[in-house]
Amino acid sequence: MNPLQRAAIVRKATYLGAILVLFTLSMIWRGAIPVPLSGSSGPFRWAANHTIQSQARNLEVWELDPQEGEAEITGSALRLTLTGSRGLAVTALWLSAIDKQKRNDFHEFEQRVMMVTKLQPNFITPWIFQSWNIAYNVSVEMHGSGDMYFYIVRGIQLLAEGERHNKRSPDIRYQIAFYYQNKFGVSDQVETLRCLFDLSCIPPSQRNPKQFEDPATGKIDVAKFQEFCEKHPHLVRRLRGEDLRYTDKRAKEKLRRGTPKEVIDFLKANWEVPSRYRPNYLKELTDDLAETENQFPALPPQFNEGPDEANPTSGTADDRAPGLGYFTGYKAARAWFSYSLLLLPPALKDAQGVPVPGPTPAPGTFGHDPTKHRVPRLPMMVIFRQGAPRAQSYQAEMEQKEGWFDEEGWQIDDPGDQPSKWWFPDNADRPTQPRNVVVGTGRAWSLEEWRKAAEMWERHGRDYGLVFAQGRRETLENRRGDPGSVPNDPTSEQLADPVLRERYLAKVALENYGSSRSVTNFPYFLAAAQAEAKPLTVKARKTLWKAEQARKISNPPLAIRLYKEGLGLWKQVLVENRDFHRPERSDRTEEETAEYELAYLRLLVQDDERVRKRANEQVHAAQAVVPFLTLPFQTEALAPGQVAVADPLWATANREEIKWYVVENVADADFSSPLVGSLAPDRIAWVSETMKESVRSKQGVSRKPQQPASGPGDPGGPMGRPVPPGGPPNGPPPIPGQ
């Protein structure tokens, strides 16, 4: 072998060795091959902590791991093409998107948003911010409710796509849930948005407007329309409006589709609403579920920890869908809230496996594995965890607000309406009365949802140590011992000592129990769900709701009777549910009680002759002390042509005040509120005077301020002076002018 050949072989061997060394080093640097001697200290340990895999684990960024997110080939190719100029491109696109939004060029704006997210798919902030921007800022710029709904859908779908690229982000999952809960719960035009959400969930064959009317004659197919109403009573009731005779401002904001023709027109106008179903090759909607990424509502995949939660395979054919029941934005939110909990560190538990309340454990302690678990940015962990039961409570409250209480259902046609407004008359040509078509029967809507809410709140309390069993506090105090001898932030070596570990957990539990319950308002939510899940509470709510409907249609006698009955039932509810009446750190029940009673008292003051008669009796009794008093209300009918002479002593304001004095203090009359003249079981007034005044102020009920008595001869004090709790309910009335 000549020297040239020998040199060539050496050179090739050197190149091959260099290639192998560099390849091995690259694999070690990537983390595919463990760093030698990584367990020792020094440069080897430093190198092991700075491999790509180690840094990816620390920074929680994995682009190609299918467990972390879906790979997106187009975006990856685009990022490689830009080499080192991706930051400049993202900045330019972001500024351009903001400019397009200001110019209301929403199509171009959306395209730039998609490009921004493709260039940085594992950076969750653009997904969250831009989805919120579309769902909130862009949607409110739309004049039509359909356009508003479309952009809310696009915002949620964008964030759902971000979740598919970042499967280890609890923040994205939580935000999706919040969008559903907020936009379809309390946002503007919520009635319309809920109707459109219902259409998204109904199979196209059931809501196809063509099936309800004859194209030749234009006549409605009553049988098919009735079947539609029976399958989707919530949607139909919301479209119809509770009663067409309502005249208040809120009623005017409702959809109020007064005839079947108007309902069918609504279905026509929103036929192409984004939905869960796929089109065929002719682009006609079918009843087959679309692919997961193309469905709306966008739902999380099925997971073992949430067998009852909605997923892309769940059926939503009608309001009695198996497993889900009536599917709403709240139940979509509940599914995402539950799904987000899978990524959180487990709750702290003592040696017996009993959960204890406490802070988020440090990585590597108490089962917190940083390779599996993530800590959300916002809100704080204890609030983050209660999203699912809170959404279920909202669902139950919605059923009540919309009039769904028990198995009675809803009668579509009211005989008091005009015959032209009847949907199902006895005779289409000459209607004399409506047929008794009742939908939504056979299911206790709000009762079932409240029972589910109570179950979820009770489980939430057990899972996170928010409910102490009897004797639990004493056990923890004995286990903790002297709190000063337990470190606030023990090291891993200290936690390895089982005795110190148990003492530390006991100390943490006692310190965090009260704060965790108060910051989340857990005691009220639990007590409310448990009380509302009882038939008596449902009956009381239903009676008071019917009283409110009677008031709205200007039927005072019926409203007064129902309020009287409902307040009696509500009083029983408060007696039987002490924690509901006075829960920790909440006055919501007390406020509701004040609202119910004030509505009843206002009706009595405005429309009840018995109150005026009793006011005269009260003044007549006071005439023995003040002889110059005259009766405030005329007792004899005026002769024809006779004009009542104004009494300067009893001006309009004084007559109103004497009526208020009667309804607020007289307890033995047949019209008296069940709460007047009695105290709650804890010997405190049912509602504090501060709360009463707050509710009066909110409802615009003007009353004269309280003043001290003018002297020992003052039989009653100034007008409107509140009687102390437990004071005599039938004392002398206030004297006008004092």
pLDDT band at residue 148 using 50, 70 and 90 as cut-offs: very high
Distance between first and last Cα of the chain = 130
Across the range 559-576, mean pLDDT stands at 96
Across the range 252-259, mean pLDDT stands at 69
Predicted pLDDT of residue 643: 55
Q: Angle, to 10 degrees, between the axis of helix 588-607 and the axis of helix 609-622? A: 80
Predicted pLDDT of residue 63: 55
Condensed to tens digits (0 to 9), the pLDDT of residues 124-137 reads 988 999 999 999 99
Any idea which of 335-344, 543-552, 647-656 has the lowest mean pLDDT? 647-656
Judged against a pLDDT cut of 50, whether residue 708 lies above it is answered with: no
Q: What are phi and psi of 139, to 5 degrees?
A: -60, -35
Share of the chain above pLDDT 90, in %: 53
pLDDT band at residue 251 using 50, 70 and 90 as cut-offs: very low
Condensed to tens digits (0 to 9), the pLDDT of residues 256-289 reads 778 899 999 999 999 999 999 999 888 888 999 9
Looking at the structure, do residues 603 and 727 belong to the same domain, yes or no? Answer: yes
Could you give the residue ranges of the DSSP H alpha helices within 31-165?
A: 43-48, 52-59, 73-82, 86-102, 106-119, 124-132, 145-165
Judged against a pLDDT cut of 50, whether residue 697 lies above it is answered with: yes
Across the range 691-719, mean pLDDT stands at 60
Predicted pLDDT of residue 370: 86
- Whether 181 is covered by a domain: the verdict is yes
Q: Angle, to 10 degrees, between the axis of helix 106-119 and the axis of helix 73-82? A: 80
- Whether 350 is covered by a domain: the verdict is no
| CB 672 within 8 Å of CB 666 | yes
For 545, the enclosing helix (H) or strand (E) is: helix 535-552
Any idea which of 230-234, 481-485, 724-728 has the lowest mean pLDDT? 724-728
Predicted pLDDT of residue 31: 76
Looking at the structure, do residues 111 and 185 belong to the same domain, yes or no? Answer: yes
- Whether 528 is covered by a domain: the verdict is no
Helix then strand count (H, E) for the chain reads 30, 4
Q: Quick one: tokens of 573?
A: 């509810």
Token pair 């999706």 in the structure block, residue = 176
Judged against a pLDDT cut of 70, whether residue 523 lies above it is answered with: yes
Q: Which of 346, 34, 22, 295 is nearest to 160 (CA)?
A: 295
Looking at the structure, do residues 326 and 410 belong to the same domain, yes or no? Answer: no
- Whether 158 is covered by a domain: the verdict is yes
Predicted pLDDT of residue 111: 87
Number of domains present in the structure of the chain? 4
Judged against a pLDDT cut of 70, whether residue 241 lies above it is answered with: yes
CA distance 28 to 215: 73
Predicted pLDDT of residue 710: 37
Share of the chain above pLDDT 70, in %: 87
For 278, the enclosing helix (H) or strand (E) is: strand 277-279
Q: Is 602 left (phi over 0), alpha (psi -120 to 50) or beta?
A: alpha
pLDDT band at residue 339 using 50, 70 and 90 as cut-offs: very high
pLDDT band at residue 201 using 50, 70 and 90 as cut-offs: very high
- Whether 520 is covered by a domain: the verdict is no
Judged against a pLDDT cut of 90, whether residue 119 lies above it is answered with: no
Looking at the structure, do residues 422 and 498 belong to the same domain, yes or no? Answer: yes
- Whether 497 is covered by a domain: the verdict is yes
Condensed to tens digits (0 to 9), the pLDDT of residues 360-394 reads 888 888 888 888 899 998 889 999 999 999 999 99
Across the range 574-587, mean pLDDT stands at 91
Work out the mean pLDDT of the chain and round it to a whole number. 85
Q: Angle, to 10 degrees, between the axis of helix 472-480 and the axis of helix 498-520? A: 130
Any idea which of 59-68, 457-466, 629-638, 640-649 has the lowest mean pLDDT? 59-68
CA distance 443 to 174: 31
Judged against a pLDDT cut of 90, whether residue 182 lies above it is answered with: yes
CA distance 349 to 455: 22
pLDDT band at residue 38 using 50, 70 and 90 as cut-offs: low
Condensed to tens digits (0 to 9), the pLDDT of residues 609-667 reads 999 999 888 888 877 777 777 777 776 655 566 555 566 777 778 888 889 999 999 99
Any idea which of 305-314, 427-436, 633-642 has the lowest mean pLDDT? 633-642
Predicted pLDDT of residue 78: 65
Judged against a pLDDT cut of 60, whether residue 709 lies above it is answered with: no
- Whether 114 is covered by a domain: the verdict is yes
Looking at the structure, do residues 404 and 498 belong to the same domain, yes or no? Answer: yes
Judged against a pLDDT cut of 70, whether residue 490 lies above it is answered with: yes
Predicted pLDDT of residue 707: 44
Looking at the structure, do residues 240 and 306 belong to the same domain, yes or no? Answer: yes
Looking at the structure, do residues 603 and 726 belong to the same domain, yes or no? Answer: yes
Predicted pLDDT of residue 718: 34
| CB 255 within 8 Å of CB 270 | no
- Whether 275 is covered by a domain: the verdict is yes
Looking at the structure, do residues 592 and 735 belong to the same domain, yes or no? Answer: yes
Q: What are phi and psi of 526, to 5 degrees?
A: -70, -50
Looking at the structure, do residues 102 and 241 belong to the same domain, yes or no? Answer: yes
> CA–CA distance from 585 to each of 277, 522, 591, 630 (Å)?
46, 9, 13, 48
Which residues form the domain of 736? 534-634+647-738
**Top-confidence residue, 638 or 679:** 679
3-state SS string for 109-135: HHHHHHHHHHHCCCCHHHHHHHHHHHH
Looking at the structure, do residues 673 and 558 belong to the same domain, yes or no? Answer: yes
Looking at the structure, do residues 184 and 272 belong to the same domain, yes or no? Answer: yes
**Top-confidence residue, 654 or 458:** 458
Looking at the structure, do residues 161 and 285 belong to the same domain, yes or no? Answer: yes
Any idea which of 73-82, 268-277, 300-309, 579-588 has the lowest mean pLDDT? 73-82
Q: Quick one: tokens of 37?
A: 């001697």
Across the range 480-493, mean pLDDT stands at 88
